């Protein structure tokens, strides 16, 4: 039987040693839940959860979600998947397997133990969008055979599996479409734009803008996103999503570079590099659905979130921070 909202639950977080997963584990532990963090450490790092290892409610399991797992839990948060283009393109076949086989294994587990299951989907399901801002009813504009397809199509197929398990087996699902999120515990060599620019600025290295920097993204601070995760998981069973979670503030990559340079006081120069193939030209979430159904919206402005993230990387690079 499903436990009440205030009762302690047994919870599985796949990808729990990654950037978002480790913040989620922190919040679940703080709420008094029993957390199993399953991660193969492909892009995650045990140091992200090192502070939790001695906690009696926390357990780390080195596990690859492409293989079946059996644990008795009330909730599953499926976050396992490399998220940075550099990492997911490193072994594209493994990326598709992680999304698709991982979804099948976790949905099978949810069905078997009667757990509610959350999927970390992505704005990438909209591809290079021709509708702006993106609403959940937009089906997207995705190249099925390009360099980003292993991630985009893997995540789209995972969404299909979630809705088919829901319709066919009545599994309780919650699908979040996450837009670019940043913050402390991103890997310094992650390759994503916010961590790249901050690390480059702090080291005085050139800031690498791909293309002319006119492409846009909307950046959400991690604490806001995790609030959205928790609101979605706690929402009534009939609300499945998909629901956009992100910050609607939209910036060009050039504007982001300028903000990072200003906030770090860096002397780094800007270096333009070729634009990767299929790089989306624009991206901005329409969050009306999340506002209405979850009462959620982000609170942290880009400059504020960047300051906190810069402080984290500054300490990390100086060897003062724990990850």
Q: Which is nearer to ligand NAD, 241 or 266 (CB)?
A: 241
**Out of 9, 63, 156, 217, the residue judged to bind ligand UDP by CB under 6 A:** 217
* Residue 286 in contact with ligand NAD, rule: CB under 6 A: no
Residue 56 CB neighbour total at 10 angstroms:
7
* Residue 42 in contact with ligand NAD, rule: CB under 6 A: yes
> Minimum CB separation from ligand NAD for residue 269, in Å?
27
* Residue 180 in contact with ligand UDP, rule: CB under 6 A: yes
Rounded Cα distance, 174 and 58, in Å = 23
> Minimum CB separation from ligand NAD for residue 277, in Å?
19
Q: Which of 151, 165, 182, 312 is catalytic?
A: 151
Q: Which is nearer to ligand NAD, 82 or 213 (CB)?
A: 82
Strand partners, 134: 285
Assess contact for 159 and 142: CB atoms under 8 A.
no
15 binds, among ligand UDP, ligand NAD, none (CB under 5 to 8 A by kind): ligand NAD
DSSP E strands, 102-214: 116-122, 173-178, 181-182, 207-210
Taking the CA atoms of 232, 55, 182 and 94 in sequence, report the sign of the dihedral they define.
Answer: negative
Strand partners, 89: none
Assess contact for 110 and 2: CB atoms under 8 A.
no
Assess contact for 233 and 77: CB atoms under 8 A.
yes
| Contacting range for ligand UDP; rule: CB under 6 A; set: 14-22, 152-160, 190-198, 240-248 | 190-198
* Residue 249 in contact with ligand UDP, rule: CB under 6 A: no
* Residue 225 in contact with ligand UDP, rule: CB under 6 A: no
| Contacting range for ligand UDP; rule: CB under 6 A; set: 52-60, 169-177, 208-216, 237-245 | 208-216
């Amino acid at each position: 039987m499903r436990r009440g909202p205030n009762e302690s639950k047994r919870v599985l977080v796949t990808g729990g040693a990654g950037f978002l997963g480790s913040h989620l584990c922190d919040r679940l532990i703080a709420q008094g839940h029993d957390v199993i963090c399953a991660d193969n450490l492909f892009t995650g790092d045990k140091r992200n959860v090192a502070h939790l290892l001695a906690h009696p409610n926390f357990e780390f399991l080195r596990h690859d979600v492409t293989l079946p797992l059996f644990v008795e839990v009330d909730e599953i948060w499926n976050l396992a998947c490399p998220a940075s283009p550099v990492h997911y393109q490193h072994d594209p076949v493994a990326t598709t397997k992680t999304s698709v086989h991982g979804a099948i294994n976790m949905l099978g587990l949810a069905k078997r133990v009667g757990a509610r299951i959350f999927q970390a989907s992505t704005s990438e399901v909209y591809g290079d969008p021709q509708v702006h801002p993106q609403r959940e009813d937009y089906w997207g504009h995705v190249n099925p055979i390009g360099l980003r397809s292993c991630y985009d199509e893997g995540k789209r197929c995972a969404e299909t599996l979630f809705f088919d398990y829901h319709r066919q087996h009545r599994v309780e699902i919650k699908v979040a479409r996450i837009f670019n999120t940043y913050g402390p515990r991103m890997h310094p060599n992650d390759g994503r734009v916010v961590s790249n620019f901050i690390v480059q600025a702090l080291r005085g290295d050139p800031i690498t803008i791909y293309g002319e920097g006119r492409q846009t993204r909307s950046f959400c601070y991690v604490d806001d996103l995790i609030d959205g995760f928790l609101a979605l998981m706690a929402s009534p069973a009939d609300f499945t999503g998909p629901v956009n979670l992100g910050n609607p503030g939209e910036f060009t990559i050039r504007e982001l570079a300028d903000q990072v340079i200003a906030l770090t006081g860096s002397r780094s120069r800007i270096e333009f590099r070729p634009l990767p193939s299929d790089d989306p030209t624009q991206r901005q979430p329409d969050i009306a659905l999340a506002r209405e159904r979850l009462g959620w919206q982000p609170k942290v402005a880009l400059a504020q979130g960047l300051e906190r993230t810069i402080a984290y990387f500054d300490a990390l690079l100086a060897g003062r921070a724990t990850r």
